[in-house]
Structure 1
Amino acid sequence: MTAPLVDYPFGPFAPRPENPVLRPGRHDWESANVYNPAAIVADGRIALVYRAHADDIVSNLGLAWSDDGITFSTEPDPVMVPSEDYERYGCEDPRVVFVDGTYYLTYTGWDRHSARLCLATSTDLRRWDKHGPMFPGINTFAGVRETPGPEWSKGGVILPEPIDGRYLMWFGEGNIHLATSDDLLHWKADPTPVLRPEPGTFMGDLVETGPQPIRTRTGHVLLMHNSAVIQPDGGVYYACGQVLIDPRRPDVVVAKLTEPWLEPSTYEDQHGLVSNVTFVEGLVFHRGTWFAYYGQSDTTIGVATYTPEES
């Protein structure tokens, strides 16, 4: 079923009572935590490409399948493992789109010094060709706070339909930036942020991209994002927002939610490896319903759904 055009604000989404829909422990390599999944519909089923690790916290990417969006079976082996120096301590936080027979997956390569946004491609979601870090020298935390290394970039979300012959991607943790491409493989980043933290709001200390952007009924681009506030005790509180962008001016936000559409509300959302986190990275339309998949406190995976009324 083709996804319908959406309105802004998008939703309302409600967390499912069946949550978590995926827990750790099915395989040794994902024995401790599973979270922050990309999502896409493939062959009539929902596929999650999800982050997972054992107690060593070295992340691999796994693949899970569902017919109904709630009950998942997982493949026994990871589909991506650290193989390069820049990702030797983890392949993390994927996002995925499908364009002209190819899956384009962005993920974070982590070496415990710098986080680098990387790109990989596949035709079957199982075998991936890595294309390396996308933005050498960029630090999306510039002006927000110090990072362990001079480079820092995460969270590339690609609009799968080109605008005026070029593809658009928003990326970043700390601030969110825009990048453009003619071929989906080579990207040019704008050094000026599109979205910055807003002290005193749920976007107070950082913003980071969510799932892939989608088009609205008015032709605008809807970008869901994750935002954090640092608590007085040093912990964090992650909630999810939405902004609206003019595709002819993709570096300009024209509207934003002032309240989150998803935030920690259940035990799993509030307790885990990093507590008080709802971190959305996957969004699909399947059998008349929108499914938004999110990491719950970096430990389990939940889903919130929205079924639009027929018009």
Structure 2
Amino acid sequence: MRRSFFILLALSVMLDFSCKQRKKSMQEQEAIENDSLPSWALTGFERPEGINPVLSPIDSTSFFSEMNRKDVAWESNDVFNPAAAVMGDSIYVLYRAEDKSGVGIGERTSRIGLASSVNGTEMYRDGKPVIYPENDAQKSYEWPGGCEDPRVAMTEEGIYVMLYTQWNKEVPRLGVATSTNLRDWTKHGPAFEEAYQGKYRDMATKSAALLTELKDGKLVISKVDGHYFMYWGERHVYAATSENLTDWKPLEDENGELRILMSPRVHYFDSQLTECGPPAIKTDKGIVLMYNGKNLAGEDGDKNYTSNSYCAGQALFDAENPVKLLARLDKPFLVPTASFEKSGQYPAGTIFIEGLVYFKDQWFLYYGCADSRVGVVVSKG
């Protein structure tokens, strides 16, 4: 009798805790939805009912790895942090996939896979990675960690440009690749390899958002004063320019250091990191940069959000002077609420945005869920 009582008591406590957690998640999301966003921000993003996650790890796909010299179940452990692009009448999602070769974040080998969708939510995978560590000129930069966290944008001529992390388990480097069909890619090596006589080649660099604009219903790469422009950076936001989209020159300040455009803020959701997200968009209000904010644990973080969680923010830069920060959301527009956004490799909770496309009069924003799955939110704009 006593044993039954304690079992019932334990179940009651667990149910009460679950209800409170669910209520808290709903309150967090409602607070965001009810809080009016400024006119410059991209708004209206909603999770499609019963759709997410749109991609999860599977064991059934394998390919022969030159690095491992054997067949590898390349997307068996986790799939996350996706880029996105439109080609023809479909959305293509390029996602980071990890095998089971190690334990812990960054300890496995990552490859970039491809999935297509005619409606943005139902995904059909290619089955083999499209960018991965090969026995090629990038071997020293990509073995054994692989290729991570892609962002993709397209030129008006139909050339796709990918900026991704080359990870050799020593130094993460921002790499560049180009394609005309999203399946066959040409690697061009580290983005900052030549700038300033190689000054930044061996510095940790990652997370780049190319400047784009909406033209005739297509999101295409844009220029500022005749140069291509990108925001990049993990802790701070920096910038770089290019004449050819493959060789990039970081912007420096008067002291010859990287020019910082935006930084973490104490007591805000982005108190630890302000990491660049999907392609930045030039609008009639300015340049909107979506980014991933990480919350500090302790007194310097935002008590409204879980310690070390990643939430999605937006910032506005001047369209004529893209290094000038004009405004910034004080609250994230997306926070982890679903169970798969708060469990996996990163249980503190993660909404990590990297892929944004305009498709059939709607915005599709793809994101990593707790470093383990891929989700999407949609806005009619």
- Flag whether TM exceeds 0.5 (same fold): yes
Q: Look up the SS of the partner of 2:97 in the other structure.
A: strand
Secondary structure of 2:130's match?
coil
**Matched residue type, 2:262:** L
What is the alpha-carbon distance in structure 1 between the residues aligned to residue 247 and residue 129 of structure 2? Answer: 27
Partner of 2:55 in structure 1?
22
Structure 1 position 64 matched with structure 2 position 115: yes
Show the counterpart of 2:204.
152
| Preserved contact between residue 7 and residue 217 of structure 1 (Cα < 8 Å) | no
Instruction: Tell me the number of residue pairs that the alignment of Structure 1 and Structure 2 aligns.
Output: 291
CA shift, 1:306, in A, is: 0.8
Which structure has the higher relative contact order (CA within 8 Å, separation 6+)? 1
**CA distance in 1: counterparts of 2:130 and 2:181, whole angstroms:** 10
What per-residue deviation string (whole Å, max 9, x for no partner) do you get for residues 70-89 of structure 1? 10000011001113111111
- Matched residue, 1:75: 126
Equivalent residue number for residue 92 of structure 1? 148
TM-score, structure 2 normalization: 0.74
Q: 2:87 is matched by which residue type in structure 1?
A: A
Q: SS where residue 195 of structure 1 aligns?
A: coil
Q: How far off is 1:235 after superposition?
A: 6.5
CA–CA distance in structure 2, aligned partners of residues 211 and 236 of structure 1: 21
Q: Which moved more, 1:153-162 or 1:33-42?
A: 153-162
The answer to whether residue 342 in structure 2 is matched with residue 270 in structure 1 is yes
Q: Which runs of 4+ in 1 moved over 2 A?
A: 135-139
Query: Using the alignment, how far apart are the partners of 2:56 and 2:74 within structure 1?
Result: 13
2:32 is aligned to: none
Q: In 2, Cα distance between the equivalents of 1:210 and 1:86? A: 23
The offset of 1:19, in angstroms, is: 0.5
Aligned equivalents of 2:343, 2:130: Cα separation in 1:
28
- How far off its partner does 1:12 sit? 2.2
Q: Which one of the candidate residues 190, 202, 213 is aligned to 1:133?
A: 190
Post-superposition CA distance 1:170-210 (Å, at most 9, x none): 11111110101122122110111111111210110111101
> Cα offset for 1:288?
1.9
Question: Which structure has the larger Rg?
Answer: 2
Partner of 1:31: 76
Deviation at 1:7, TM superposition (A): 5.2
Q: CA RMSD in A?
A: 1.8
Matched, 1:285 2:358: yes
The residue type equivalent to 2:295 in the other structure is V
Q: Which moved more, 1:258-267 or 1:23-32?
A: 23-32
Q: 1:212 aligns with which of 274, 279, 287?
A: 279
Among 224, 229, 236, which residue is 2:290 paired with?
Answer: 224
Q: Report SS of the residue matched to 1:251.
A: coil
Aligned residue in 2 for 1:3: none
Given candidates 243, 250, 257, the residue that maps to 1:189 is 250
What's the counterpart of residue 171 of structure 1? Answer: 232
Q: Please, which runs of 5 or more residues in structure 1 have no aligned partner?
A: 1-5, 140-149
Query: So what's the TM-score if we normalise by structure 1?
Result: 0.90
Match of 1:144 in 2: none
Between the two proteins, what is the percent identity of the paired residues?
Answer: 36
